[in-house]
Chains A and B, each alone.
Chain A
């Protein structure tokens, strides 16, 4: 922690993320207005002393909605990310240690899954099961865990060849205990950094889904949804879209800065893969 804070970019990133988390938790008690309250008089009014960030096309207070807009996204992704890293990480490490036919077969499956565009996978699940949180969380966790398998497997490969793993096997430790005792502590770094990145990509996906209309349903405030709603009026009422944009972007940048600093501190080599 301390080492990370010594890097300015990492410190800034961490602060941003913490602010967002704080707001996400405490906003219902902080916001001045009811996010649902529409007003036909105040449509698209610019920021003023009452509505600090103006109102949207239905007269709702932008400040309130922006502050509340991250809650769903953060809740969903914050639960789904550890799940994704956990299941993908375990399988990846196991495959890295074991290799053989199982490895061959499963990696083919992984390749096949990765060949499909993410939106297709998301939408198929949503079309089948609906858009509740109970669907979104496992869906995101499942699909975003698959690239983690690749990364964990590569990290495990690096470690498996080392003598201390051989020494453990020679002593007679079983496979599972070798994973837990020898591999995991050494692979944890890579997984941690990957976890941070996964979180940011999941947030992107979630917001994009909401933007397209497949995620959160109105009138729940959500940044993606707010940007979508504000599109038509953006030229004349930029505040209705710019504030949620700033909120979402700042969180994602914050996560990325933190992940970068984390990677540099831990000495992890971050493969620049396109987000899936």
Chain B
């Protein structure tokens, strides 16, 4: 069992390593480097050569990769060419903001999604289900920037209840993000709730149609008990994976929402880093986001392993 966990950890580490390679290569391929970005118009001749030597950009790619990877492991991600601050500081701020946004969206969206998904499955093909499923499809298919824009229009433009954009500076303490954070959270929650609702619903339906639930019914188990003891534990297992994907997405994929609301999170930082050709920053952010993705998936895998008796037995038997 322990070996299986270790194996998964190792595979995760390999994936992160591969990601770092991919990022590094991609950034290498981009025209220009940190020095051209730093010096801009003056990026030529001796000045450029000096800069490169100073920043160590004249060394071979392999060497630079190893140095970068090595220091990344210790938490030192280098300096941002654009703002000349330590990348770790910049990222830390944005990371905390993104975490706030993500956690709030999860807190609102997850319970809603699970409740709605379960109810929709239990009342399959009735009005409640059709309504909820319809809403879910709507929320899923409408682009984020559309739903965000509409939210702003309604709640900020017409009703004036909430601010439409976030003006709080990135390094501000968390509580200052309220109430501006409400609309972004709503926009995010809409999309993720829809996805999770559909997964939960279809998983529930599959379990409700299974032989063992039919057996429980024929055993005389009362309906409520059956749902609690026999249906839910089996139906919610597959949802773990979707939740994991959602968590990962909340951290790195919500760029559009951040742009629309001007929210100072990791996504916006990434966009400006790319626009500014601040390559070290781009690399760093990509690595962090990817690492989070791998970590979250790993946790989901392990959780599924622990919660599913069949996998537990299989794991114990592994040599």
Q: State yes or no: do A and B touch (Cβ within 8 Å).
A: yes
Per DSSP, are chain B's interface residues mostly helix, strand or loop, or mixed? helix
The A216-251 residues at the B interface (CB cut-off 8 A) are 224, 227-228, 231, 234-235, 238, 241, 245, 248-249
Which 6 A-B pairs have CB atoms at the shortest separation, nearest pair first?
Answer: A235-B157, A112-B18, A117-B252, A115-B290, A272-B199, A115-B293
Residue A111 lies at the interface, judged by CB distance under 8 Å to chain B: yes
Q: Which has the most chain B C-beta neighbours within 10 Å: A128, A200, A211?
A: A211
How near does chain B come to A111, taking the closest CB pair, in angstroms? 5
Q: Is the CB of B271 within 8 A of A212?
A: yes
User: B145 touches which one: A124, A127, A128, A207 (CB < 8 A)?
Assistant: A207
16 contacts between A and B (CB under 8 A): A108-B15, A113-B22, A115-B294, A116-B23, A117-B255, A117-B289, A127-B30, A207-B145, A208-B144, A227-B145, A228-B145, A253-B142, A255-B141, A256-B140, A260-B137, A272-B202
Count of B interface residues, CB-CB < 8 Å:
55
Residue A102 lies at the interface, judged by CB distance under 8 Å to chain B: no
Residue A274 lies at the interface, judged by CB distance under 8 Å to chain B: yes
The B241-257 residues at the A interface (CB cut-off 8 A) are 242, 245-246, 249, 252-253, 255-256
Q: Is the CB of A249 within 8 A of B152?
A: no
Residue B5 lies at the interface, judged by CB distance under 8 Å to chain A: no
How near does chain B come to A194, taking the closest CB pair, in angstroms? 16
Interface range for A: 35 or more
Collect the chain B residues with CB atoms within 8 Å of residue A252's CB. 141-143
Q: A108-B14, A112-B18, A272-B199 are in contact. Are A227 and B146 (CB under 8 A)?
A: yes
Q: Is the CB of B145 within 8 A of A235?
A: no
Q: A212-B255, A253-B138, A274-B245 are in contact. Are A119 and B29 (CB under 8 A)?
A: no
Residue B127 lies at the interface, judged by CB distance under 8 Å to chain A: no
A252 to B195, CA, bound (A): 16
Q: Is the CB of B22 within 8 A of A117?
A: no
Residue A101 lies at the interface, judged by CB distance under 8 Å to chain B: no
